[in-house]
Homo-oligomer: A and B are copies of this chain.
């Protein structure tokens, strides 16, 4: 990242703090050899892994189990031209251990859409990167868009 390009690189701790307050993120993976993006609700595990919950027979669970994927969350103010974006890259795993499933039932995210059998998916926080838009209108008080 270029220090003059209007973005500030965020360190891992900053990224995780921002993720903690984001209700929605996007799973990015490959589907039929094309990039696929799906918004999901999520939360962070105590080791900062990303936790999602979905139907056991969902296409998503089958597509990403055991695969390195990206998970992105952001918050962008289109009026103020400010915001941030964080990407977690790591292996996704469907949780099959019953004890672990029980723990995640207590602390994990809730489903928005009920399904008879649900599973948790963990994304290991192997690589956590982020950037903040700092050269927007808000920071310098100048409308750079005109």
Contacts from A to B (Cβ < 8 Å): 5-7, 23-24, 26, 28-29, 34-39, 41, 55, 58, 68-70, 72, 74, 76, 78, 81, 83, 85, 87, 89, 110-115, 127, 133, 135-137, 144-146
Tell me whether B145 and A110 are in contact (CB under 8 A): yes
Q: List 17 A-B contacts (CB under 8 A).
A: A5-B58, A5-B113, A5-B115, A6-B112, A7-B113, A23-B78, A26-B37, A28-B35, A28-B37, A34-B70, A36-B87, A37-B70, A38-B85, A112-B144, A112-B145, A113-B135, A113-B144
Docked-complex contact B89 and A34, CB < 8 angstroms: yes
Quickly give the copy total for this chain.
Answer: 2
A89 neighbours in B (Cβ, 8 Å): 34-35
**Is A39 in contact with B74, judged by CB distance below 8 angstroms?**
yes
CB-based contact A72/B26 at 8 Å: yes
Are A74 and B23 within 8 A (Cβ)? no
